[in-house]
Structure 1
Amino acid sequence: MVSATCRRTLLALVLQLVFLQLVANVRCLEGDPADQLIRPRKVEADVGAVAADHRICSDLGVGLLKKGGHAVDAAVGAAFCQGVVNPGASGIGGGDFLILRLADGTAEAYDMRETAPGLSSEDMYAKNRTGKTLGGLAAGVPGELAGLYMVWRKYGKLPWKQLVYPTIRLCVNGFAVEPYLANEILTNQAAILADEGLRTNFAPNGNLLKAGDICYRKQLGKTLAQIAKHGPKVFYRGAVGKRLVADIQAAGGIMTFDDLQKYKVKVRKPLVADTWGLTVLGMPPPSSGGAGLILILNILAAYKNISAIEGDLGVHHIVEAFKHTYAVRMNLADPDFVNVNPVLKDMLSPAFAATLQKTISDTTTQPPQFYGGRWNQLEDHGTSHISVVDADRNAVSITATINYSFGSKFLSTSTGILVNNEMDDFVTPTDNTTNAFPPAPVNFIRPYKRPLSTMSPTIILEKGQLRAVLGGSGGIKILTTVAQVLLRHIAGDDPLEAVSLPRVHHQLEPNWVSYENFTNVRGEHIEVPAKTRESLLQKGHELRSANQAVCQLIVHDLSKPVSPVHNKHGGVFLGKLTAVSDLRKDGYPAAY
């Protein structure tokens, strides 16, 4: 017979184990960096998957799927999360592009891009150049919250509050700063210390947060609690919006409460193209990502041989396709202000792509004017991306941004919202450039206009079935990153290899190949081989090393059906899911 003392001892041990497990679970939720050491960047599963720029957000998204949530629920929940734990790149103070493809074939593109305030004008920065990037004058009218709510209202299965509450807990309870964010804080230390709101959140007591420190976003948590309770009306028509506008105006901005009230999400048709035996669903203008990706793929498909994209010569062909594409993309703009149909017709045309492919030499590159470019490149900046597939094979690809790292370097103290500087994604007549081309008038500032972007949320189909979901974060380099990852997947690379292998970038102006040769914040080295670099030099390319964008990829394997317990009727194939996150950021995928 067990004595009372033994029973008490056993009970104490059990309670201690339960307590330790609870602590472990909390540490996992709030982002214990030690967990990264044992976590893979590639996971396989039968039911659902999320690949986000931060592992907490991947976990949160999968948690919503497990509760019976739709892919849209997981994407919305993860987007709220990334605005908190990846604050330098996204949040409700910015805007998003979202591509949705349902298992029944329905496809939609949600444009929740920021708009220029009603009092803006094309020459508003002529006497204040820094105002285009710093402070309240740089802010576009944010659209993320309106768009997330709209797509949830149409397709979400879980209660709105259930999507927001996990992020509120992160704000209030805090989360561990991981290496990528710590590096962003250090890089932007002067701006963070100069702004009261940023300093309070990321340098409490004047000390910059480091990896492993706990970050709190308590004022933002209060704002999100209001949004969880009342929906976006409290932001666009209520007290939160009024406080945000007051803070922006106090910081020199021209945004008004009327601007918030007038904001409209645009639901557009995705761009659709068949190439390389696949169907590409891409984001239409004001994104150049969908049309740009299709043009790159079509130029390279015109070689009619997969060997054309392999080896050192293949890298040259890819770079030349980039140069042609970036020459054309600057003719795109907000379709509500500019007729972009003639440009889109060319960019989606295999025949047009074939004419460009015929001009590519195997032995030499050409000067920028050769590619027909007329305008200087518009440089958009940092972003966050989330890819989601659910149990029914509904898919969402969403890219979010506040533009520069930490946006306008201004955080609204009354709301906790980090404000975007998306006005810098417009050009002005007085933009001073040392490049060969002038600024593109189609992207001049107009009230309520949306600036051009390279964000490239993408969904891939094969024979009518879901094949892949991907997208990137990293500004103007997103398009070339998504293209290279997809091309490597087409060429047969393992999904993790397709995302991890070193990449190149060319945007026509400045006229050099940007190539990877760096060690990330976790000590992992990424370098384009010296042999490849030498081959590019021999063809006349100038080379400069620089980091590239970051990709989140989910592959739906149409050759591997999952166990019958997960199969559904209706002609929808359920294959094995492989989710991959890029080692260039703090992303780790989650699946079940």
Structure 2
Amino acid sequence: MVSTYLSFLWPVITCVLFTLLAPTSSLNGLNGAHKNRREVVVARHGVVATDDGRCSKIGMDVLRAGGHAVDASVAAALCLGVVSPASSGIGGGAFMLNMYAGNATLKMSGILSVAVPAEDLARRGFKVSPNLRKQMEITKLGISADKGLRDVFTLNGNLLEIGDICRNKKLAETLRVISKLGVKAFYNGSIGFNLIKDIQKAGGILTIKDLQRYEVKIREPISSNIMDLKVIGMPPPTSGGASMILMLNILAQYGVSFGVSGPLGIHRRIEALKHAFAVRMNLGDPDFVDLSKVLSDMLSPKFAATLKKAINDNRTFDASHYGDRWNQIHDHGTSHVSIVDRKRNAVSMTNTVNVYFGAVILSPSTGIVLNNEMDDFSMPLNSTSKNLPPPAPANFIRPGKRPLSSMSPTIVLKDGKLKAVLGASGGANIIAGTTEVFLNHFALKMDPLSSVMAPRVYHQLIPNTVLYENWTAVSGDHFEVPAYIRASLEKKGHVLKSIPGATSACQLIVQELETNKGNGGVGRLVGVSDPRKGGFPAGF
């Protein structure tokens, strides 16, 4: 059976977001290296930072042509659906957070025409990137088993190699129709009918009525004032915003920046992360579950202070110490876009098809990769293991319900003005990755590039293991948590395991405010794309 959770022109939420957490010892010599790295761009008018430089450029072209941040986000996301189909696409879902600066009535302008650049990429073809090639190799058996995927990603029975031209002409046609007719063609037109036909042929149960009933949910963002900053994040059904704010409120009890720096600071961050992961599993879709108490707790400095008392600077504990009432979900691959335009409208958007290539089915009629978002629900039948807590009822499947997610799109304000836009890809590791980058920049005062480049640690509570970076990216950059930090963590009882590749990739834009220069508080923008996925930003 194929189950899908579909959305196009993904959920829009007016809000502000930001992230934190990372070792103080970043790669040597990166501070001040902006001019030597394509992963960094400094601009005055607008910046787009994505997982793929081609999509950053397409988004920037929309800004340069007079579009605003939402226009550019749609163009960049559609592009990512073409060149990074293992992680995103219109067959998946997304969370978007956006802030309008001084223009609350701003509407999406030219929203149809922004599909055209992505259509051209899909039709003419694009070079397979190292990141896509890696994802293809991991999903090789699934690609071989599905005719739609084989037709796009193989040649003479072999996977396309790095630099080979990949074409998805059916997706190009789908984007062409959407650019002319709008989303009605997707939900109640030829594209939708063809998509449903392919899904049902593959054994799925989705109907055209399911598509017609789908609606984008617009929700109020959550926010908290931390470190003289206003941090606004995504509300449930994603757990990312509330988990990040809870972590930050816990760590704020130690003082900044000394309290979160060095080996002890990393230990505290891991412990705060474990507490956040325990609490987050009480979240779910607010249309189906009353979240008022747990969400209030997660945003409360008083609740954070209580959890901080359960952190011991000298040791860690097993999962039960953190109140592991429910088993964790393990959401998977994603893609993130951060955008700021000339009027300082900002968008932070994370999109996904869940695991690599989603359901590992490509609709032959439409070229759309189908997601497997249903995997993010908690399953009652999976509670048979005596070694694991039961699944969380708040996230059980119900008709029309949306699954819990780790997506953490974030916007940060300083004195009411835009200060940063960030977020990450990486499934369940998004929360840690985004939080580390935030802490690096705002608590440890690292420059934007170093904040993203610093090696990371992750924890998901279950299993009770610290994952740490020790690998070399295709860019040639080596990411490794220093040995003395690892030794300190092990001494406190942490079980460590190295990870062989990227588990989160962050897109960060920082505005360097210049309030005393007579420019209305508008400063230059510094955008960074994480080299862990080989992306780079674009600006003008």
Both structures adopt the same fold (TM-score exceeding 0.5): yes
Aligned-pair CA distance for 1:223 = 0.8
Say which of 45, 48, 51 aligns to 1:47.
Answer: 45
CA distance in 2, matches of 1:304, 1:509: 28
Closer/same/farther in 2, CA of residues 239 and 449 from structure 1, 3 Å limit? same
Structure 1: gaps (5+ residues): 1-37, 107-152
Alignment match, 2:71: 73
Structure 2: gaps (5+ residues): 1-35
**SS at the partner of 1:364?**
coil
Conserved? CA contact 1:276–1:297, under 8 Å: no
Alignment match, 2:393: 441
Q: State which drifts further: 59-68 or 200-209.
A: 200-209
How do 1:424-435 and structure 2 match up within 5 A? 424-431=375-382, 432-433=384-385, 435=387
Say which of 491, 495, 499 aligns to 1:538.
Answer: 491
Alignment match, 1:576: 524
Q: State which drifts further: 439-448 or 517-526.
A: 517-526
How do 1:132-531 and structure 2 match up within 5 A? 155-157=107-109, 159-431=110-382, 432-433=384-385, 435-490=387-442, 491-531=444-484
Alignment match, 1:587: 535
CA distance in 1, matches of 2:150, 2:515: 50
**SS at the partner of 1:533?**
helix
Closer/same/farther in 2, CA of residues 105 and 278 from structure 1, 3 Å limit? farther
CA distance in 2, matches of 1:211, 1:164: 26
Aligned-pair CA distance for 1:250 = 1.1
Aligned-pair CA distance for 1:576 = 1.0
Structure 2 letter corresponding to 1:539: K
CA distance in 2, matches of 1:407, 1:276: 38
Aligned-pair CA distance for 1:588 = 0.2
1:102-133 CA-to-partner distances (Å, cap 9, x unmatched) read: 11285xxxxxxxxxxxxxxxxxxxxxxxxxxx
CA distance in 2, matches of 1:584, 1:305: 28
Structure 1 letter corresponding to 2:323: G
CA distance in 1, matches of 2:485, 2:369: 41
Structure 2 letter corresponding to 1:92: I
CA distance in 1, matches of 2:155, 2:176: 23
CA distance in 2, matches of 1:442, 1:385: 26
Aligned-pair CA distance for 1:436 = 2.9
**SS at the partner of 2:347?**
strand
Conserved? CA contact 2:87–2:355, under 8 Å: yes
Alignment match, 2:102: 104
CA distance in 2, matches of 1:523, 1:407: 29
Conserved? CA contact 2:250–2:304, under 8 Å: yes
Closer/same/farther in 2, CA of residues 47 and 434 from structure 1, 3 Å limit? farther
Alignment match, 1:144: none
CA distance in 2, matches of 1:378, 1:229: 39
As a proportion of its length, which structure holds more helix?
A: 1
Structure 1 letter corresponding to 2:355: Y
1:345-368 CA-to-partner distances (Å, cap 9, x unmatched) read: 000000100111122111000111
**SS at the partner of 2:94?**
strand
How do 1:7-26 and structure 2 match up within 5 A? none
Structure 2 letter corresponding to 1:584: R
**SS at the partner of 2:112?**
helix
Higher RCO structure, 1 or 2 (CA under 8 Å, sep 6+): 2
Aligned-pair CA distance for 1:561 = 7.2
Structure 1 letter corresponding to 2:480: E
Aligned-pair CA distance for 1:326 = 0.3
Conserved? CA contact 2:243–2:431, under 8 Å: yes
Aligned-pair CA distance for 1:39 = 6.2
**SS at the partner of 1:412?**
coil
1:73-130 CA-to-partner distances (Å, cap 9, x unmatched) read: 1111101000000110000000010001111285xxxxxxxxxxxxxxxxxxxxxxxx
Alignment match, 2:22: none
CA distance in 1, matches of 2:144, 2:306: 53
CA distance in 2, matches of 1:316, 1:433: 30
Structure 1 letter corresponding to 2:327: N
**SS at the partner of 2:350?**
strand
Q: State which drifts further: 396-405 or 96-105.
A: 96-105
Structure 1 letter corresponding to 2:530: D
Structure 2 letter corresponding to 1:554: I
Conserved? CA contact 1:39–1:588, under 8 Å: no
CA distance in 1, matches of 2:199, 2:208: 11
Q: State which drifts further: 433-442 or 320-329.
A: 433-442
Aligned-pair CA distance for 1:48 = 0.5
Q: State which drifts further: 331-340 or 237-246.
A: 237-246
Aligned-pair CA distance for 1:558 = 1.4
1:503-545 CA-to-partner distances (Å, cap 9, x unmatched) read: 0011111101011111223332111111110000000000111
Alignment match, 2:6: none
Conserved? CA contact 1:561–1:575, under 8 Å: no
Conserved? CA contact 1:70–1:155, under 8 Å: no
Q: 2:87 matched to 1:89?
A: yes
1:229-280 CA-to-partner distances (Å, cap 9, x unmatched) read: 1101011011111110111111111111110000011110110110111101
Conserved? CA contact 1:435–1:509, under 8 Å: no
CA distance in 1, matches of 2:103, 2:445: 26
Conserved? CA contact 1:55–1:590, under 8 Å: yes
Conserved? CA contact 1:380–1:476, under 8 Å: yes
Conserved? CA contact 2:336–2:351, under 8 Å: yes
Q: 2:502 matched to 1:551?
A: no
CA distance in 1, matches of 2:61, 2:97: 21
Closer/same/farther in 2, CA of residues 486 and 330 from structure 1, 3 Å limit? same
Conserved? CA contact 2:49–2:508, under 8 Å: yes
Conserved? CA contact 1:504–1:548, under 8 Å: no
Closer/same/farther in 2, CA of residues 433 and 502 from structure 1, 3 Å limit? farther
CA distance in 2, matches of 1:434, 1:470: 39
Aligned-pair CA distance for 1:433 = 4.7
Closer/same/farther in 2, CA of residues 92 and 435 from structure 1, 3 Å limit? farther
CA distance in 1, matches of 2:429, 2:103: 30
**SS at the partner of 1:430?**
helix
Aligned-pair CA distance for 1:341 = 0.9
CA distance in 2, matches of 1:93, 1:484: 30
**SS at the partner of 1:182?**
helix
Q: State which drifts further: 518-527 or 330-339.
A: 518-527
Query: Which of 1 and 2 has greater Rg?
Result: 1
Tell me how large the CA RMSD over aligned residues is: 1.6
**SS at the partner of 1:266?**
coil
CA distance in 2, matches of 1:329, 1:214: 42
Conserved? CA contact 1:364–1:540, under 8 Å: yes
